A and B are shown apart, each in its own frame.
Chain A
Amino acid sequence: MRSEDHHIVRDMALAKQAISHGSLISKGHTLISFLDEVQDKCNLDLGNVSCVVRNFPFFMEGERHTQMRQRVLKHMGTVASLKSWEDYFDTSLRKALNTIDLDQETDLVSAFIDPFLQEITCTLLGLTMEDPHKFRQCTDLAEMLLDPLLPIRALKQMEAAFTDFFEEILSKEIKETGSGSPLLAELLKKPVPGYTKKDTCAFVLVVYAGTLALRYTLANMIFHIVSGGETIKAQAVSKEWVNTHLEHLIRDTMAVRKVSRMAKENCRIGELDFEKGHTVFIDMQAAHYGTEAECPMHKGKKWDDETLDNKTHMAFGKGSHYCLGANFSKFILSKVLPELFTRYPDMRLVNTTPDLMEHTQILSVRTLKCYMRN
Chain B
Amino acid sequence: METEAQAITNFLTEKISAYSKVPVSELPADKALEDIGLSSLDIVMISGEIEDEFDIEIDPSVIFDSKTINEVVEKVLKSKD
Contact = CB atoms under 8 A, between A and B. Distances in A.
Interface string B38-81: 11110111011001000001111101111100000000000000
A151 interface: yes
B59 A3 contact: no
B48 A42 contact: yes
B43 to A, nearest CB: 6
A191 interface: no
B40 A6 contact: yes
B12 interface: no
Contact of B59 (A4, A5, A38, A151): A151
Contacts of A147: 61
B44 A38 contact: yes
Determine the interface band of chain A, counting residues with CB < 8 A from chain B: 20 to 34
Given A3-B38, A6-B40, A152 B48 contact: yes
A149 B57 contact: no
Contact of A4 (B39, B48, B58, B66): B39
Contact of B40 (A34, A41, A360): A34
Contacts, number: 63
Contacts of B37: 3-4
B60 A150 contact: yes
SS class, residues of chain A in contact with chain B: loop
Chain B facing A: main interface SS = helix
A93 B52 CA distance: 46
Contact of A149 (B33, B36, B44, B51): B44
A184 B34 CA distance: 45
A38 B43 CA distance: 12
Contacts of B61: 147, 149, 360
Given A4-B39, A153-B51, A360 B59 contact: yes
B10 to A, nearest CB: 21
Nearest to B57: A153
Interface in B6-53: 33-34, 36-41, 43-45, 47-48, 51
Interface of A: 1-6, 34, 37-38, 41-42, 147-153, 279, 360
Interface of B: 33-34, 36-41, 43-45, 47-48, 51, 57-61, 63-67
Across chains A and B, which 3 residue pairs bring their CB atoms closest together, nearest first? Answer: A149-B60, A152-B48, A4-B37
Given A4-B39, A149-B61, A151-B51, 12 more contacts: A1-B34, A3-B34, A5-B39, A6-B40, A38-B41, A149-B43, A149-B59, A150-B44, A151-B47, A152-B51, A279-B40, A360-B61
